[in-house]
Structure 1
Amino acid sequence: MVIYMFYPISTLVCNFCIPLSCSVAFLLSVQSTVRCDPIPDGVLHMECHDRFFMIAIDLSFTGEDPYFEAVDETGVYTITEEYAAMCGYSVSSIPQTGYVELRASYFSCHTDNKDDKEFAFNFNLIATHKEKVATYALNNTCSPPLPWSAREVTCEANYMEVSVRSDISCPTGTKKDDWDAVVQTAYFAAVSDWQVVFQRAEQELMPMALSDARKQGYAFDLTDGRLVFRTPYGQPDSFSTTVNGVPVEVVHATLFSRQTWAVLMVDLVAACSMHEGSYDESGYMTWETPEVLHPLMSGLHETRINIGANGELVEQPVAEERGYMVEQYNSTVRISIPYNAEGGYRKSAVSGDLYEFYIFSLYLEQISVDEDDVDTRLRFHRVLTTPLLPCPVFTENRTVLEERTFTVYLGDVPADVELAAVRLNEHQYSLATNATNHSVTQVVHPNNTHGYTVTVPFDDPAVIKRFSKEDAAMQHMLDINYTLTVRPENEQFSHLVSVMALMDVSPPAFAAVCSESGISFKLDHRPSDYLWEIRIGLDPLTSELAAQHGYIMTNNSQSLLLDVPLFTNGYEYKDVTLKGFSGTFEILVRDRETSEVQSATVKTCPFSSTELIMCSTDGRMTVVADFSAAIPSGGVPARTNLVDKYCGPKEADSTRALFSFPLNSCGSTVKLGKEYVTYENEIFFSRKLRNLKNPSFSSSDISRVTVQCTYPLAGLYRLFSAYKFESDTAGVGRIVHSALSTEGPQSPTVKPTIALQTPVPVTSRNKRPGYRPPAQYIKVSSFLKRLQKKGENQSSQIKVNAGIF
């Protein structure tokens, strides 16, 4: 970044009151062709000020390296840096302001001056557009709004200029010794042509022709009523001194010419404050100048100061109302201006982080009157610049937990800074294509700043989720890395903010849907799912368990789907009738560390089935048998019975019958194997009923229905008891349709894995005369010991009839 620093100079003039008849003109042989192109509105600004003409052009229009040419009747002259200082032009291209600016003195070289009252300017602007050079003609005429003072001094950025009235009276404050030395030199060296002597302390005076002085960059001119002297800063004939602690540059020139018997002399002194300006912690830019810049000006008094910016002046009281401070101490004038005063320019800069600096074009006028009532106006053009000041942007977490969305505001973003990119944790977010799940919106403020609001839902993939045991909550963490760009330099810097939200963790919950064939469960995954364990009964739900029990499970990154077919492991059945029954399936959610049940998803659905068998864990067999293929003509299912003829159906219709009885009753037999035990019973038709309804019906055509419940021995606590049957798992049931006289192929069976948990109450059928309860208690372990004596491969068949073992 380049900052142009200019050092204004204050100038003092002392002229001997002898009219001059010479004039100075500069003719250059450089010629160029001018091509006039239109300039868009809003790009060009031309203004006439009290003592100069100003042109400002938008840099975005001119392209890189624009320059000006001065035009008069003698030709076209390129305004280079050196030529500008000699001829009264000041050109500054300050990217921070966005403009290239030309200030031209009313006494500049190629200005058409009419009686010091009307000044015509003609310039060419040379700009580059897409590698093509374009020339624009600029012209204007100005009339000074204020009358000329006896002395007019301008301290520009690159030169100082003095103009005096030619009829001014001789000053009374000239020191005799200094003047005598010059007179002696002029007397012996003077010729009819004008010459100049530049005085320096303890240095021999060497006269110089004006033509030679012009070659060194000095300019002299005589208008209708004023003598003009202009010199760039840092000339070989200048010298530096200190006045009241303020550095001052001085050029002391004396013009002289022999006119017959007399020597005509004009004494000129230019003295300028070289104070660079400073910045204090209170936020003020300060510039200083001595009240008296040179001893020749010691007679000045009744000083008045006007101050402003960008060539506009206001009186001191008005400036102080705007925050300016004008102090006079130790014969020094101190001007203090707030860093962000009206009329200044602000610019952002990047130096690791974001900084800012302020540029203020100080315009100061000091009006003084000496003891001879000669007024002098000194004008200073001074560019003040602050150092780089921290310009932090800030972030504010505006997240509302109930909305489950991060809302983060980035504020105090300057006008010349814009958001280029956003990174959410490790995910780059494009501002060009706003995603639907998170967004970035700009907020504009009236103080020439703006901000950005970033919204990101908690469940966005970019958000990191982690359970905190200390907080007993789920942490949602998001690092937002803003990349911002300073325009027009395209310098980038980053701003990082980390936000976190704590959300109470709830166990996962399944959605359940009934179907004709079973129940379907769905669980949408959450980041906290790893805290919980899903179980079916006592067993964790895994793909192996699902395959073992006949579940259909699909698990991906989004959700878990579990289809549980009817009669598979885990169902609980109730309200069994011939019309239907209810099936309930439960999924438990346990804490993975403590194994405590945190929640349960229980779904109960109505089902219907033509034929079914259920073997409960508490030792009850429930059967719905279908006799439509076996009942002879006129048969009634309500007249069927089990092995114990007193055990009839609880419910029957024209083709089916419902039985529900304890496993160790109604004539059931027990078949004990090495690993399993099977309870078996049969459903019969009444022989008397069969013979009466159909005498021709033979015994070989009589069908029977065998019903079985098989349990694993390892899960049994008691084999059977009059009071309790205990099994870890439900039994596997079978219904076998076959003829009494054959042992042919068995019919397909239904094999549910869970049956009713609630025992059926004892009915009057169980309280019949002659009823005897079954054996009271048999331990499986002792029973197995007796089996081992008979041989491990031998199976035993036990008939349980009316409680006899």
Structure 2
Amino acid sequence: MQAISFLSYRLAFFLSVWSSAQCEDIPNGVLHMECHDRYFMIAVDLSFIGEEPHFEAVDESGVYLLNETYSAECGYTVLPLGDRVVLRASYFSCYTRNTDDEAFTFNFNLISTQEGQAVTYALTKTCSPSLPWSPREVTCELNYMEVSVRSEVSCPSGTMKDNWDALKHAHSTTSSDWQVMFHTENEQSPPMNLFEARTHGYVFDLTYGRLVFRTPYGQPDAFSTEVNGVPVEVVHATIFSRQSWVVLMVDLVAACSMHDGSYDRGYIIWKSSEVLYPSTESTQLNIGLNGDLVESSVSEERGYVVEKHNNTMQIRIPHDAEGVHRKSFVSEELHEFYIFHLYLEQTLVDEDLVETRLRFFRTLSTPLLPRPVVTENQTLLEELTFTVYLGELPEDVALVAVHLNGEEFTVPFSNLSGHTITKVFHPNNTHGYTLKVPFDDPVVTRQFSREDAVLQYRLDINYTLSVLPENNTFYHLASIEATFTDVSPPVSDAVCSESGISFKLDHRPYDYLWEITIGSDPLTSELAAQHGYIMSNNSQSLLLEVPLYAHGYEYKDLTLKGFFGTFEILVRDRKTSEVQSSTVKTCPFTTTEFILCSTDGRMTVVADLSLAIPSGGVPARTNAIDKYCGPKETDDTRALFSFPLNGCGTRVELGRDNVTYQNEISYSPKKLNMNKAASANVTERVLIQCTYPLAGLRRLFTVYRFESDSEGVGSIIHTTQVASVLLSPTKRPTTALVTIPPTRRPPPSQVPAFHPPARYVMVSMFHNLENILRKDAVGQS
């Protein structure tokens, strides 16, 4: 009755503990629980539970924290495995419910800290071994050794001789309790009962059909030795009990290779001795990583190599084999190391045909290996852009910033910057970055050698990279250059048309070295609008259409048949303003009428006089206001006049902002004996004038000189109004031809020279210029 009450109490306690632990549900995909041949595994993503999770074992007696020491004694192993934390539990671990050595039930609490609060997740799983138990099984875990033997196995051959001292102690004892003795190489310890052994960190357990012995590494009763050059740790225990005149004795030996592994030319190498557990038959061996064994054919495909030398087994695994974990490490520059969670199962049969199944869990790592970061210059000159590839970077390395010629830009770049950076992914779990910076970006430095005609662009790059999750930063430097040879000033293509001259200039990456000018004025959109040019400019080319009579033309060979117009585009050194090259285009033009007002004070006019002369008259008998100023050339209806602004009777009117020179083409009655009837058919007067802005005039009249910063605006005014005085410029004419003459003065050989007597005249906007000129003329007559 008391036993039943006690059992009820234990069950109630267990249920209360278990229910209190179930306080949170773990999300799907975060937790993985697997049953293996001889152990149970829990794997939890670190991204969910943080970096410092811990486990508790739960049974009907309570909750037990699995710290480092307690885990080794009780058959638990907790370790980080890549981006997960893993718990491995032996089927014979403490607090595991064992049903006939066929079903094992595990109960754990997973404790994580989230937002400063401890959160508990209850985990449970029942596993059944997929393989039958061997008579003897030895597990060499990372933190403990475990031996289990079938309880009915008889003593193997040689046991009586090898353990005679232990047998004598067993016979001399008077206690029937189980006791244990530990053997070292040269001596053995006094017997102790199993309870006392447990206080020393040793665990002995009798299950339904097996005797289990477990010990952490480095116990005082363990001894280290070398077998064929392989370091080995051995714990040899004999447990016994005297029942009347019968002595029950079991010899338990745990021997594990402690080889740390080595690295050689891309392989991690691990060794173990085959004489730890002598075998008369060839050894069966299965290898795997991360707790999963694979068939020998699969291991061969993955590059595993198993070799045997003098009873020493050597296993070679490629450093980049499937399942190997790599980690980046910063030591001035980027390095990496590889971690191998080796799992090995070896089956041996001794001379008594007793099978021993030996399992090893070993964590091996390579030394720090250099992991060079490379840059590849993928720049194509025709793209006018630096293209630089950075790679091949491991998964745990990220680019956080880039310094371009000393200027820092964080990654990702803002949309305001003219450069871009693109992440590139590769199938081998690496990635890289492609950086693009245009040659004309302000961060790019340029150097031009005029002597060698070489232009060089340079980009110094300092990549800031970080190893995750530690955020340890390191830097990678690269200097990229792009060179253009035979660099020359740009040359335009020019084409004539009826209305003017068109220029086309194809852009080149180094054209920024020069400046396009019209005369001394840089060609800009504002200048084009000011002078009536039609300009379009895109990434490929510059197109400039210069209408006839626009600012900048030079005219020559002016005749009634036409004239030649020349326009020049200059290419100047942007720094020195020296002219480096030019494109000059001369085109023939034909027009019925035109007027040119030059900067040196000459008016040149071709006028249609068909309505300004009487019937039967000829243009050759026309003249300006001064009757002695006749045409230079005539045909049936037109006349060509060319004279200085201050000659041929030209009148001057001074306005607020400009000055206008006016003249008129007409017939002289003295030259033509025409009656009133004949003169009645003259229906048109032809007025000609040139207007100059006062702000651009350096002199009005000097000895033989007139200078203006710009050409004048010419007008040919055809009017039917008959008057004996000149038409004021402020009156609206019937028809008028307005042209914009050239900046350059016509060559003297093309236009007859005219040098009127004159003196220096000080011009003021507040004087009547016409009165001054009249007084000047009277004084000289």
Report the TM-score range of the alignment, normalised by the length of the smaller protein. Answer: 0.7 to 0.9
Q: Is the 8 A contact 2:387 2:437 kept in 1?
A: yes
Which residue of the other structure, out of 216, 222, 231, is the alignment partner of 1:247? Answer: 231
Which residue of the other structure, out of 485, 489, 498, is the alignment partner of 2:466? Answer: 485
Task: Write out per-residue CA displacement over residues 734-780 of structure 1, whole angstroms, 9 at most, x where no aligned residue.
Answer: 99xxxxxxxx9x999x9975343485599xxxxxxxxxxx9xxxxxx
Paired residue for 1:220? 204
Write the distance in 1 (CA, Å) between the matches of 2:293 and 2:438: 56
Give secondary structure in 2 for the equivalent of 1:402: helix
Q: Does 1:572 align with 2:562?
A: no
Task: Write out per-residue CA displacement over residues 669-698 of structure 1, whole angstroms, 9 at most, x where no aligned residue.
Answer: xxxxxxxxxxxx998853525896579x9x
Equivalences for 1:136-535 in 2 at 5 Å?
A: 136-174=121-159, 176=161, 178-189=162-173, 191-203=175-187, 205-280=189-264, 282-293=265-276, 297-298=277-278, 301-425=281-405, 426=407, 428=409, 430-431=411-412, 433-435=414-416, 437-469=418-450, 472-503=453-484, 505-508=487-490, 528=510, 531-532=513-514
TM-superposed deviation, 1:168: 1.0
Which residue of the other structure, out of 37, 53, 60, is the alignment partner of 1:73? Answer: 60
Write the distance in 2 (CA, Å) between the matches of 1:143 and 1:39: 24
- Counterpart code for 1:58: D
Q: Is the 8 A contact 1:588 1:600 kept in 2?
A: yes
Which residue of the other structure, out of 76, 84, 92, is the alignment partner of 1:107? Answer: 92
Give secondary structure in 2 for the equivalent of 1:302: coil
Write the distance in 2 (CA, Å) between the matches of 1:606 and 1:143: 105
- Counterpart code for 1:650: E
Q: Is the 8 A contact 2:439 2:509 kept in 1?
A: no
Write the distance in 1 (CA, Å) between the matches of 2:461 and 2:101: 65
Write the distance in 1 (CA, Å) between the matches of 2:555 and 2:171: 136
Q: Is the 8 A contact 2:201 2:215 kept in 1?
A: yes
Larger displacement relative to structure 2 (562-571 or 393-402): 562-571
TM-superposed deviation, 1:223: 0.9
- Counterpart code for 1:365: E
Write the distance in 1 (CA, Å) between the matches of 2:689 and 2:55: 113
Write the distance in 2 (CA, Å) between the matches of 1:116 and 1:758: 124
Q: Does 1:83 align with 2:70?
A: yes
- Counterpart code for 1:492: T
What TM-score, normalized to structure 2?
A: 0.73
Task: Write out per-residue CA displacement over residues 282-318 of structure 1, whole angstroms, 9 at most, x where no aligned residue.
Answer: 211111111113xxx4465432222112222234454
TM-superposed deviation, 1:644: 8.8
TM-superposed deviation, 1:211: 1.4
Paired residue for 2:718? none
Paired residue for 1:98? 83
In the superposition, relative to structure 1, how do residues 524 and 480 fare at CA in structure 2: closer, same or farther (>3 Å)? farther
User: How many residues are matched?
Assistant: 693
Q: Is the 8 A contact 1:434 1:440 kept in 2?
A: no
Q: Is the 8 A contact 2:182 2:238 kept in 1?
A: yes
Paired residue for 2:760? none
Paired residue for 1:686? 668
Give secondary structure in 1 for the equivalent of 2:412: coil
Task: Write out per-residue CA displacement over residues 569-628 of structure 1, whole angstroms, 9 at most, x where no aligned residue.
Answer: 9541257589998764423225799977523265979899999565699x9973569999
Write the distance in 2 (CA, Å) between the matches of 1:263 and 1:479: 84
Write the distance in 2 (CA, Å) between the matches of 1:239 and 1:374: 25
Q: Is the 8 A contact 1:66 1:128 kept in 2?
A: yes
- Counterpart code for 1:112: R
Write the distance in 1 (CA, Å) between the matches of 2:686 and 2:139: 130
Write the distance in 2 (CA, Å) between the matches of 1:265 and 1:430: 71
Give secondary structure in 2 for the equivalent of 1:480: strand
TM-superposed deviation, 1:278: 0.8
Give secondary structure in 1 for the equivalent of 2:360: strand
TM-superposed deviation, 1:499: 2.3
Q: Is the 8 A contact 2:182 2:188 kept in 1?
A: no
Q: Is the 8 A contact 1:577 1:651 kept in 2?
A: no
TM-superposed deviation, 1:172: 1.4
Q: Is the 8 A contact 2:55 2:110 kept in 1?
A: yes
Q: Does 1:754 align with 2:744?
A: yes
Write the distance in 1 (CA, Å) between the matches of 2:595 and 2:617: 21
- Counterpart code for 2:143: N
Q: Is the 8 A contact 1:422 1:431 kept in 2?
A: no
Paired residue for 1:792? none
Q: Does 1:622 align with 2:604?
A: yes
Task: Write out per-residue CA displacement over residues 321-372 of structure 1, whole angstroms, 9 at most, x where no aligned residue.
Answer: 4311111112211111111112222223333332222222111112111111
- Counterpart code for 2:402: V
Q: Does 1:64 align with 2:51?
A: yes
- Counterpart code for 2:387: T
In the superposition, relative to structure 1, how do residues 210 and 340 fare at CA in structure 2: closer, same or farther (>3 Å)? same
Write the distance in 2 (CA, Å) between the matches of 1:332 and 1:239: 20
Q: Is the 8 A contact 1:509 1:601 kept in 2?
A: no
What TM-score, normalized to structure 1?
A: 0.71
Give secondary structure in 2 for the equivalent of 1:83: helix
Write the distance in 1 (CA, Å) between the matches of 2:293 and 2:183: 35
Greater RCO (Cα-Cα under 8 Å, separation 6 or more): 1
In the superposition, relative to structure 1, how do residues 751 and 193 fare at CA in structure 2: closer, same or farther (>3 Å)? closer
Paired residue for 2:24? 37
Give secondary structure in 1 for the equivalent of 2:94: coil
Task: Write out per-residue CA displacement over residues 493-514 of structure 1, whole angstroms, 9 at most, x where no aligned residue.
Answer: 3333332223363525689999
Task: Write out per-residue CA displacement over residues 437-494 of structure 1, whole angstroms, 9 at most, x where no aligned residue.
Answer: 4322233222222333223332233322222457623222223333333333333333
- Which 5+ residue runs of structure 2 have no aligned equivalent? 1-9, 650-662, 680-684, 691-703, 716-725, 731-738, 754-775
Paired residue for 1:600? 583
Paired residue for 1:722? none
- Counterpart code for 1:756: P
Q: Is the 8 A contact 2:398 2:465 kept in 1?
A: yes
In the superposition, relative to structure 1, how do residues 158 and 602 fare at CA in structure 2: closer, same or farther (>3 Å)? same
Q: Is the 8 A contact 2:96 2:104 kept in 1?
A: yes
When the two chains are superposed, the root-mean-square deviation of aligned CA atoms in Å is: 5.6
- Counterpart code for 1:383: T
TM-superposed deviation, 1:65: 1.5
Write the distance in 1 (CA, Å) between the matches of 2:425 and 2:494: 49
Write the distance in 2 (CA, Å) between the matches of 1:492 and 1:194: 60
- Counterpart code for 1:243: V
Write the distance in 2 (CA, Å) between the matches of 1:667 and 1:307: 116
Q: Is the 8 A contact 1:117 1:144 kept in 2?
A: yes
TM-superposed deviation, 1:183: 3.2
Q: Is the 8 A contact 1:439 1:454 kept in 2?
A: yes
Write the distance in 1 (CA, Å) between the matches of 2:176 and 2:618: 157
TM-superposed deviation, 1:232: 0.5
In the superposition, relative to structure 1, how do residues 573 and 182 fare at CA in structure 2: closer, same or farther (>3 Å)? same
- Counterpart code for 2:428: N
- Which 5+ residue runs of structure 1 have no aligned equivalent? 1-25, 669-680, 698-702, 709-718, 720-726, 736-743, 763-773, 775-794, 800-805
Write the distance in 2 (CA, Å) between the matches of 1:145 and 1:112: 18
Task: Write out per-residue CA displacement over residues 637-669 of structure 1, whole angstroms, 9 at most, x where no aligned residue.
Answer: 763347795954535999xx8544699xx999x
Write the distance in 1 (CA, Å) between the matches of 2:292 and 2:543: 78
Q: Is the 8 A contact 1:589 1:597 kept in 2?
A: yes
In the superposition, relative to structure 1, how do residues 564 and 324 fare at CA in structure 2: closer, same or farther (>3 Å)? closer
